[in-house]
């Protein structure tokens, strides 16, 4: 969600190749080659989609088979949160991976990964409100005001909503690419808030959130370095 969909971007090494469906001509070797490329693209896309959906399917399976441990609600809320955060980080890692591996077409998957991250975080929030708080919205407001980790999580979620809503090509056209890109810079606030949310809620062992913080720092550091280097 942090960059315009590729069908609206250039095919420079920074931007990546087009996201638009490949049109294959009915005849000629070029057409066959394009059709093969397109079939491979679809396969890779299906693999990315399955990889993003697999943790949710596994969690659902564990929930239905009563395999979520002694505190199933906590496990559910936490697993959805941690997968939301992981996918947000994977989304941020796509551009560095595309540049370093010289595979500009990788950036096509950013939108899918971003939308999956949003889905996990939304389910994380709803499982907390529904299963943990029994839809007690008064308690939710109290939590937002009194528990700093909830305040930060909620701030991150509120900022994620416009990014998810405007993730379509139609919105890029409606807003104009510059305004769209400015809005999607919010991702650089959202992910640190997600990591801070995690850090604050952990009571004893801070190593796991610190690992996520280190990955985030590396990804942001790479972007800052690249911006300076390409000036």
- The answer to the question of residue 3 lying near ligand HEM (CB under 6 A) is no
Select the residue interacting with ligand HEM from 121, 123, 196, 216 (CB under 6 A).
121
Q: Which residue has the tokens 């080659």?
A: 33
Residue closer to ligand HEM, measured from CB, 104 or 114: 114
Q: Token pair of 50, please?
A: 């399955």
Select the residue interacting with ligand HEM from 17, 52, 94, 156 (CB under 6 A).
156
The 68-97 site mask, x for binding ligand HEM (CB under 6 A), equals ------x--xx--xx-xx--x---------
Q: Token pair of 133, please?
A: 């708080």
Q: How far apart are CA 39 and CA 141, in angstroms?
A: 49
- CA 82, 84, 85, 91: dihedral to nearest 10 degrees? 140
The 201-220 site mask, x for binding ligand HEM (CB under 6 A), equals x-------------------
Residue closer to ligand HEM, measured from CB, 16 or 209: 209
Helix (H, G, I), strand (E, B) or coil at 91: helix
Q: Which 159-188 positions form the footprint of ligand HEM (CB under 6 A)?
A: 160
Q: Token pair of 154, please?
A: 């909620």
Q: How far apart are CA 213 and CA 163, in angstroms?
A: 22
């Amino acid at each position: 969600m942090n960059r315009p969909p590729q069908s609206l971007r250039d095919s420079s090494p920074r931007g990546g190749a087009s996201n638009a469906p490949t049109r294959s001509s009915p005849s000629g070797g070029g057409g066959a080659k394009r059709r093969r490329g397109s079939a491979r693209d679809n396969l890779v896309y299906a693999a990315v989609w399955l990889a993003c959906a697999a943790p949710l399917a596994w969690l659902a399976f564990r929930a239905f088979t009563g395999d979520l441990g002694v505190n199933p609600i906590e496990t559910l809320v936490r697993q959805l949160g941690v997968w939301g955060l992981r996918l947000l980080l994977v989304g941020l890692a796509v551009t560095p991976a595309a540049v370093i591996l010289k595979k500009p077409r990788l950036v096509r998957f950013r939108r899918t990964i971003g939308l999956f991250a949003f889905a996990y975080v939304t389910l994380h929030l709803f499982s907390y409100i529904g299963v943990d708080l029994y839809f007690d919205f008064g308690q939710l407001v109290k939590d937002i005001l009194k528990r700093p980790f909830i305040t930060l999580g909620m701030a991150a979620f509120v900022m994620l909503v416009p990014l998810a809503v405007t993730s379509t090509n139609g919105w890029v056209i409606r807003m104009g690419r510059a305004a769209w890109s400015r809005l999607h810079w919010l991702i650089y606030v959202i992910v640190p808030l997600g990591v801070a949310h995690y850090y604050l809620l952990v009571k004893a062992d801070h190593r796991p959130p610190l690992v996520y913080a280190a990955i985030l720092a590396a990804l942001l550091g790479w972007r800052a370095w690249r911006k300076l280097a390409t000036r």
